[in-house]
Amino acid sequence: MKPWEEKTLFGLLEDTVKKHGERLAVVDSNHEYTYEQLLEKVCKLSDYLYYLGFRKKDRVIVQIANSAMFEIVIFSLFKIGAVPILILPAHKEHVVDAICQRAEPVAYITMEDFYGTDYRKAAIKLKDKYSFIKHILTVSELEEIIEKENVERADTEPVSPRNLAFLSLSGGTTGIPKLIPRYNGEYCYNAICTAGHCKMDESTVNLTAIPAAHNFAFGTPGMIGTVYCGGLNVMCEYPSPLEIFDMIETHKVTMMSFVPSVVSLCIQYREIDESYDLSSIKYILVGGAMFTSEMAKKCEEILGGILIQVYGMSEGMTFLTDTKADDYVRFNTQGKPCAGEDEFKIVDEDFNPVPDGTEGEIVVKGPYTIHEYYRASKSAQSSFKDGYYRPGDKGIKDKTGNIIVTGRSKEMINRAGEKIMPSEVEKFFADLCGVKNCAALGIKDELLGEAICVFYEGDDEYTTSEVSKLFREKQIEDCCIPDRIIRVMDLPLTPVGKTDKNRLREMISDE
């Protein structure tokens, strides 16, 4: 049997309870459960859900903030073989509506209050609209259920490694996300390979500060990898630097997964407040969006631990830098695939491999990378070719065999015929004094076809002529000089915290 055909996600929890039952499994600001207690709560909830009518293969919307309850709900659905659809708290009602039409969930599990929003209201609207939604359950109702006496043990159907485990949402920033089917065996393998890579064991204390429902925090290695190793999952509900640092100090957190915007906030906060003890940090995983070498260096210098850069996608493939890699690799590359069976190529427009060191389109395949989307339209098939998945990213395989992601293929700016990757412009712009965050994109221009526009957060107001002078002083090529510069208070973010370039595009077209 292949290693990606062996395990189920609920089986991982059961195995860990046998080995580490008395160890602490999960904490949030109000709860703390050992593995034995976690399993007991999971079983109680799955029995209850079974008696409500939840069955194997039923889809269930889960939109819950980072909490112990998130973990309990997910594992109780895994136990039944029901299929959670992982929706991030920041996903808007129209997105959930479209997902409902595609997946026909039988239930919507959500929360009463998060950042002042009552999620029940949207759930009720959807239940009224779609007769297939039979139940709305909220976190506080579930809290009561897991504290009650046992209901009769449910006679659930067995779940196999080949069974669909959950559906997650593709990471696009406009349009309706596609549904990504992830199966028990392959997902366990993805989590186990990445956990091994990050040297996780039962002493690991993993902080979940980005949404737990996002693949990066969920299982690469994230929450699932921590369960596999018998470590402790620390769930951070409101991911401000203050709360993050407080949790790191209190629980002696050893590893965490951040998107670059969270790293940037933490660095800024740390520079003004050094009072928290962060010495327990061993590894900081950073991925999900472009991360400059300067930020990478600062991450280790200011927050501590060893940086592990991660390039991955909810569709599967995960690249990571080695924990023992030298400074060049850790600060400048996104590593190698986590499993020996993974394959990747950098190809040209005709899908032919380009030589190492040359930029091209990244294409990937392997035992845990998907071959198709769930109930997808025909057009979604263009994401696959010759057995490879095409994430739409550009990159280089460098001389050390590590990958360097250079940007999104679709984001390439064509300025009067000159092709410029936004990441190139961003790299130079981020170096300007007082610039905290920036994003470059192509905007329509009558003369040039596309012009370069940079949005930035920062202390100083820059004009294009000042930036042009500063760029020229640094011998930066003329084609990277922005044509337009817009200072903003905050760059808009996607639900998981990546810069939302489509929103920036809309801001320009709204003018």
Nearest residue to 302 (alpha-carbon basis) of 267, 326, 337: 267
DSSP 8-state secondary structure symbol assigned to residue 393: E
Give CA 392 to chain center in angstroms: 17
> Is 406 a residue that touches ligand AMP (CB under 6 A)?
no
What's the min distance (Å) between Cβ of 507 and ligand AMP?
Answer: 21
Q: What is the DSSP string of 445-498?
A: ETTTEEEEEEEEEESS---HHHHHHHHHHTT--GGGS-SEEEE-SS--B-TTS-
310 token code pair: 């991660």
**Binding characters for ligand AMP, 111-140, by CB under 6 A (x = yes):** ------------------------------
Give CA 246 to chain center in angstroms: 22
What's the min distance (Å) between Cβ of 385 and ligand AMP?
Answer: 16
What's the min distance (Å) between Cβ of 267 and ligand AMP?
Answer: 17
- For 7, 9, 188, 308, the CA distances from 15, given in Å and listed in that order, are 10, 10, 13, 28
**Binding characters for ligand AMP, 200-239, by CB under 6 A (x = yes):** ---------------xx-----------------------
What's the min distance (Å) between Cβ of 345 and ligand AMP?
Answer: 15
225 token code pair: 């990898």
Stretch that binds ligand AMP, among 48-56, 64-72, 193-201, 304-312 (CB under 6 A): 304-312
DSSP 8-state secondary structure symbol assigned to residue 66: S
> How big is the site for ligand AMP, counted in residues (CB under 6 A)?
20
> Is 405 a residue that touches ligand AMP (CB under 6 A)?
yes
What's the min distance (Å) between Cβ of 261 and ligand AMP?
Answer: 13
Stretch that binds ligand AMP, among 137-145, 287-295, 424-432, 447-455 (CB under 6 A): 287-295
> Is 337 a residue that touches ligand AMP (CB under 6 A)?
no
Of 8, 226, 254, 314, which lies in the binding site for ligand AMP, with binding defined by CB under 6 A? 314
> 370-399: which residues touch ligand AMP (CB under 6 A)?
391, 393
Of 156, 233, 334, 437, which lies in the binding site for ligand AMP, with binding defined by CB under 6 A? 334
Stretch that binds ligand AMP, among 48-56, 305-313, 363-371, 458-466 (CB under 6 A): 305-313
Of 100, 179, 289, 396, which lies in the binding site for ligand AMP, with binding defined by CB under 6 A? 289
What's the min distance (Å) between Cβ of 418 and ligand AMP?
Answer: 22
Stretch that binds ligand AMP, among 32-40, 250-258, 277-285, 308-316 (CB under 6 A): 308-316
Stretch that binds ligand AMP, among 59-67, 78-86, 183-191, 284-292 (CB under 6 A): 284-292
> Is 312 a residue that touches ligand AMP (CB under 6 A)?
yes
Of 224, 313, 329, 404, which lies in the binding site for ligand AMP, with binding defined by CB under 6 A? 313
> Is 171 a residue that touches ligand AMP (CB under 6 A)?
yes
Q: CA-to-CA distance for 463 and 459, rounded, in angstroms?
A: 13
Give CA 190 to chain center in angstroms: 14
402 token code pair: 């590590």
**Binding characters for ligand AMP, 234-273, by CB under 6 A (x = yes):** ----------------------------------------
Work out the number of other CB atoms within 10 angstroms of the CB of residue 508. 14
Q: What share of the chain is helix, strand, coil (3-state, %, to 5)?
A: 35, 25, 40
Residue 62 or 296: which CB sits closer to ligand AMP? Answer: 296
**What residues have CB less than 8 Å from 425, skipping those under 6 apart?**
413, 440, 452, 454, 480, 482
What is the identity of the amino acid at 36? Answer: E
Nearest residue to 264 (alpha-carbon basis) of 292, 305, 228: 292
Q: CA-to-CA distance for 147 and 417, rounded, in angstroms?
A: 65
Residue 251 or 330: which CB sits closer to ligand AMP? Answer: 330
Peptide bond into 221 cis (omega under 30): yes
Give CA 3 to chain center in angstroms: 24
128 token code pair: 């009224």
Q: CA-to-CA distance for 330 and 336, rounded, in angstroms?
A: 11
Residue 196 or 392: which CB sits closer to ligand AMP? Answer: 392
Q: Which residues bind ligand AMP (CB under 6 A)?
A: 170-171, 215-216, 287-291, 309-314, 334, 391, 393, 405, 408
